[in-house]
């Protein structure tokens, strides 16, 4: 049978950087292939060449035996290739339906078939278990909801070869499981699928075969049934990977305390009667399905919005008097949920983003003039300590892979010795080696006395790092439970809102 896809001898360079080095890969009809590699290994570049966003310096792409012209996305779409990008490509001022339809109708059409498009979108959404509101504006959606729209946008076009670049990065595990179950059923009807993922449990559960990239080269291929997560992790990074283990210790006094907090946006409650407390040398984990108030909680703890009710204090001080700049001055470090929109400015250099929140400090500026040498030296230290690959202090931040951009933001946050840390999805999009490094840094900050609030949709991560865990459902928080007493079943029930009226688990 003719392969659904073949990449032959693909090489791509960006200046002195070789992103892909003579990579060959094939995909059979009806097969699910997982593509693994560290952040910056060349996975996304390879898929962008396949989809026509980049033209390879050498090599060819064949879809169902036909060679695709390089650098032409429309040719890839016409050949039956669909792609779900790692970073959103949605228009925030358009509705979900308009985003899905965008580019699917000829410009010569005098009327838009919105009714038929709506029916098709709703049918696909129901079939894949990815609920969306067709008339909702994208800029009003949570990160998780936007990811659903990206997936639906690709499925709407009836692709025969589907590329998913970190498709479940912002989906809770039950949502991801439903997605892959449906995709598995579709492969039985001839759909061929490549997905990039750092979640090894997804790879083992969903794929038929695994290909591993390291430093731009194809280093291994395995049948999924003949490998293991430990072997794949070692193939990805070239060494054995072990995540750090949280050690029990005595927590200190409360640092951040919220009592009956209410947050409203456009007249609707995003947080409702939420109470929590984070102590010195403690990690409090917040778990929940995306879109249940995590974004409002993150904005609140960053000083971007103020509570409409209840009290919120940082070391006894009312946060209403602080604002974003005041929170930073008070020793708050933040790792925001959306690294592109809220975490970094892509057009600025790495050194500029490294000092962005502390530019007015004497260390980095004097008498209104920026001390560039000190700034670049500081950025170089972050690059080395946090293993930010493919970066120099002068590199444009948008050129970093998503995972390396995340490391830059984490380094900027933790290097100041913060009193309180908001870690909102801190390992989203990171490879196994980078996850282990981030966990080690967060545990080290905890041991040094920081109070950390961890918002995560990864239950294993929350249990591994947190001292106590609360579930968030529709803006309400459960009572905390000890992570030592929290298993996947109990947390799953809590995330589904199964707790008593007093907030305790049922």
306 and 377 share one domain: no
- Flag the least confident range among 28-32, 224-228, 348-352, 426-430: 426-430
Q: Residue 274, SS3?
A: strand
Confidence bin at 502 (pLDDT 50/70/90): low
Instruction: Please report the beta strands in 393-488, taking only residues with DSSP state E, as ranges in sequence order.
Output: 420-424, 451-456, 468-473, 476-477, 481-482
- What span, in angstroms and rounded, lies between the C-alpha atoms of 23 and 219? 10
Q: What percent of the chain has pLDDT over 90?
A: 49
In a domain, 496, yes or no: yes
44 and 142 share one domain: yes
Last residue of a domain, one of 360, 387, 416: 416
14 and 48 share one domain: yes
In a domain, 348, yes or no: yes
Burial class (CB in 10 A: 0-12, 13-18, 19+), 456: buried
Last residue of a domain, one of 416, 445, 477: 416
For position 20, which CATH number holds? 3.40.50.300
Last residue of a domain, one of 386, 416, 446: 416
Domain boundaries, position 479: 252-331+418-506
69 and 167 share one domain: yes
Average of per-residue pLDDT values in the chain: 88
| Residue 488 CA, distance from chain mean position | 21
In a domain, 311, yes or no: yes
In a domain, 63, yes or no: yes
Confidence bin at 289 (pLDDT 50/70/90): confident
313 and 364 share one domain: no
In a domain, 439, yes or no: yes
The answer to whether residues 455 and 424 touch, using CB atoms and an 8 Å cutoff, is yes
28 and 86 share one domain: yes
pLDDT digit string (tens) for 455-465? 998 888 999 99
Confidence bin at 432 (pLDDT 50/70/90): confident
Into how many domains does the chain fold?
3
Give a three-class secondary structure readout of 492-504. Answer: HHHHCCCECCCCC
257 and 276 share one domain: yes
205 and 62 share one domain: yes
327 and 362 share one domain: no
157 and 85 share one domain: yes
377 and 401 share one domain: yes
The answer to whether residues 287 and 472 touch, using CB atoms and an 8 Å cutoff, is yes
Question: Between vectors from CA 95 to CA 197 and to CA 122, what angle results, nearest 5°?
Answer: 70
In a domain, 441, yes or no: yes
459 and 386 share one domain: no
Place of tokens 């090599």: 59
- pTM of the predicted structure, to 2 decimals: 0.75
In a domain, 56, yes or no: yes
- What span, in angstroms and rounded, lies between the C-alpha atoms of 431 and 239? 13
DSSP string of 23-75, one letter each residue? EEEEE-TT-EEEEEE-TTSSHHHHHHHHHTSS--SEEEEEETTEEPPTT-HHH
Residue 141: Cβ within 10 Å count: 22
Confidence bin at 131 (pLDDT 50/70/90): confident
- What span, in angstroms and rounded, lies between the C-alpha atoms of 406 and 391? 13
The answer to whether residues 464 and 486 touch, using CB atoms and an 8 Å cutoff, is no
The answer to whether residues 6 and 26 touch, using CB atoms and an 8 Å cutoff, is yes
In a domain, 91, yes or no: yes
Contacts of 485 (CB under 8 A, 6+ apart): none
pLDDT digit string (tens) for 400-417? 877 788 889 999 999 888
pLDDT digit string (tens) for 146-188? 878 888 888 888 788 988 888 776 666 666 777 788 778 778 8
């Amino acid at each position: 049978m003719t392969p659904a896809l073949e990449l032959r001898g693909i090489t791509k360079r960006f200046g002195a950087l070789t992103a892909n080095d003579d990579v060959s890969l094939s995909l059979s009809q009806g097969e699910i292939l997982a593509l693994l590699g560290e952040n910056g290994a060349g996975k996304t570049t390879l898929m962008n060449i396949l989809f026509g966003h980049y033209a390879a310096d050498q090599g060819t792409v064949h879809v169902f035996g036909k060679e695709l012209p390089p650098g032409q996305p429309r040719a890839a779409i016409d050949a039956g290739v669909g792609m779900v990008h790692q970073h959103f490509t949605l228009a925030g001022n358009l509705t979900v339906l308009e985003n899905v339809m965008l580019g699917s109708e000829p410009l010569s059409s005098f009327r838009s078939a919105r009714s038929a498009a709506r029916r098709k979108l709703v049918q696909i959404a129901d079939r894949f278990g990815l609920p969306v509101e067709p008339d909702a504006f994208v800029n009003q959606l949570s990160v998780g909801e936007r990811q659903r729209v990206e997936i639906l946008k690709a499925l709407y076009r009836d692709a025969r070869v589907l590329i998913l670049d970190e498709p479940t990065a912002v989906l809770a595990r039950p949502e991801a499981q439903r997605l892959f179950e449906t995709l598995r059923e579709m492969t039985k009807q001839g759909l061929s699928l490549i997905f990039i993922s750092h979640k090894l449990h997804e790879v083992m559960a969903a794929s038929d075969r695994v290909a591993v990239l390291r430093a731009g080269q194809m280093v291994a291929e395995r049948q999924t049934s003949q490998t293991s997560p430990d072997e794949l992790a070692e193939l990805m990074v070239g060494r054995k990977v072990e995540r750090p283990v949280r050690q029990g210790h005595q927590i200190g006094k409360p640092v951040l305390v919220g009592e009956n907090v209410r947050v409203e946006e456009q007249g609707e409650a995003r947080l409702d009667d939420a109470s929590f407390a984070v102590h010195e040398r403690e990690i409090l984990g917040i778990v929940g399905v995306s879109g249940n108030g995590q974004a409002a909680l993150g904005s609140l703890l960053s000083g971007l919005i103020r509570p409409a009710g209840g009290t919120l204090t940082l070391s006894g001080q009312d946060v209403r008097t602080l604002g974003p700049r005041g929170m930073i001055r008070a020793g708050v470090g933040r790792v925001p949920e959306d690294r592109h929109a809220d975490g970094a400015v892509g057009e600025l250099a790495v050194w500029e983003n490294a000092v962005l929140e502390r530019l007015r400090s004497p260390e980095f500026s004097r008498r209104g003039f920026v001390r560039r040498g000190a700034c670049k030296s500081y950025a170089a230290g972050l690059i080395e300590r946090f293993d930010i690959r493919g970066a120099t202090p002068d590199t444009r931040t948008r050129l970093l892979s998503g995972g390396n951009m995340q490391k830059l933001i984490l380094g900027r946050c933790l290097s100041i010795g913060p009193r309180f840390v908001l870690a909102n999805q801190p390992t989203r999009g990171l490879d196994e080696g980078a996850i282990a490094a981030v966990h080690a840094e967060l545990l080290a900050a905890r041991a040094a006395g920081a109070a950390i609030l961890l918002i995560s949709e990864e239950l294993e991560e929350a249990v591994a790092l947190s001292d106590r865990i609360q579930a968030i459902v529709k803006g309400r928080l459960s009572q905390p439970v000890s992570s030592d007493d929290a298993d996947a079943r109990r947390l799953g029930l809590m995330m589904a809102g199964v707790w008593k009226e007093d907030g305790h688990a049922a």
